[in-house]
Amino acid sequence: MVQRRSLGGFIDVVEIEVSAGDGGNGCVSFRREKFIPKGGPDGGDGGRGGDVIIRADPHLGTLIDYKYKRIIRAGRGEHGRGKNQHGSDGANVVVRVPAGTVVTDAADGSLLADLAAAGEVVIARGGRGGRGNSAFRSPTDQAPRRSEDGRAGETRRVVLEIKLIADVGLVGQPNVGKSSLLRMLTRARPKVGAYPFTTLSPNLGVLTFGGRDIVLADIPGLIEGAHLGKGLGHEFLRHIERTKALLYMVDATDPAPERTLAVLKRELALHSSELEARPGLVAINKADLVTPARRKKITARCPGIMISAVTGLGLKPLVKAIAQVLARIEEDEDGMGKGS
């Protein structure tokens, strides 16, 4: 059973059951009208059952709609009727999820769909409608008395899991100031406090610079052993898998910021070699709490941009550096596209 979390209204993993509609049964009927002897079979076919469709909606940001509604059923097809009246098809049901949702089979964990952008996938197909007796009429059987029952629709349990889509993911240990930085750079208003693990769920903010919007993701703090599930473990790591670049944040008051940076990078590498290779920057926060001499010593051992998410120190150079990294990534992507 998948563990579900309710973190301030943010639901990022949920398991639901989806059931497509059954097909309608075919009908056995014979035409009986005055002055028309031997009217023949006129039983209609049953309608097809409705599908369950999962659709990515860029306007959604959580799976909270499925916290309590955990069984989704599509409409069943109508049965066929006499006078060759075919049953109506069952209504499809659309399950709307945030863009970036990954759909896996709850039974074996196999990937069913990766809705990284707007799009949809049929996750459970409706059953075929049964044929009525008019479909079985032949030269050797002018009055068939048989029909087909509709086929059952597919039923399965699936896991919906959000993986955030952002340009830059903020990576740092608890209480390093990621949420405070997000507040300073964007209009996002994440909850912040002077204690570890203030951020329990991801927060997104949009930074506008140079005529473009840059989406920043503030994600729960990363500690040593996160790849083994310590702290918020994989709850954190899966949310940075889609980011284009990473902003490593370390604390200027940390006695060994270079070691902390190494721990952060090692945790990402142990989780995914792709994350280790992702472009990144280093921001050394809380520079307002240390002396200028201490800042020089820190940057000599741990090269990065000195900032203060409280006073605004160094934020302009940081934003410019972020924009430059993203521009290089886009240039590389364009070059690969032209080369292919």
CATH 2.70.210.12 placement within the chain: 13-162
Per-residue pLDDT reduced to its tens digit, 139-197: 999 889 999 999 999 999 999 988 766 789 898 888 888 888 988 888 655 444 443 44
Task: Evaluate the CA torsion angle 104, 109, 112, 115 in order and state its sign.
Answer: positive
CATH 3.40.50.300 placement within the chain: 168-339
At the topology level of CATH, where does 13-162 sit?
Answer: Spo0b-associated Gtp-binding Protein; Chain: A, (2.70.210)
Orientation angle between helical segments 315-339 and 178-185, nearest 10 degrees: 90
Structure tokens at 78: 């109508």
Decide: pTM greater than 0.85.
no
Going by C-beta distance under 8 Å and a sequence separation of 6 or more, which residues neighbour residue 157?
15, 16, 17, 18, 105, 106, 107
Structure tokens at 9: 């209204």
Q: Which residue has the higher pLDDT, 187 or 230?
A: 187
CB 71 within 8 A of CB 30: no
Going by C-beta distance under 8 Å and a sequence separation of 6 or more, which residues neighbour residue 260?
173, 250, 251, 254
**In CATH, what class is 168-339?**
alpha beta
Per-residue pLDDT reduced to its tens digit, 24-54: 999 999 988 777 666 789 999 999 999 999 9
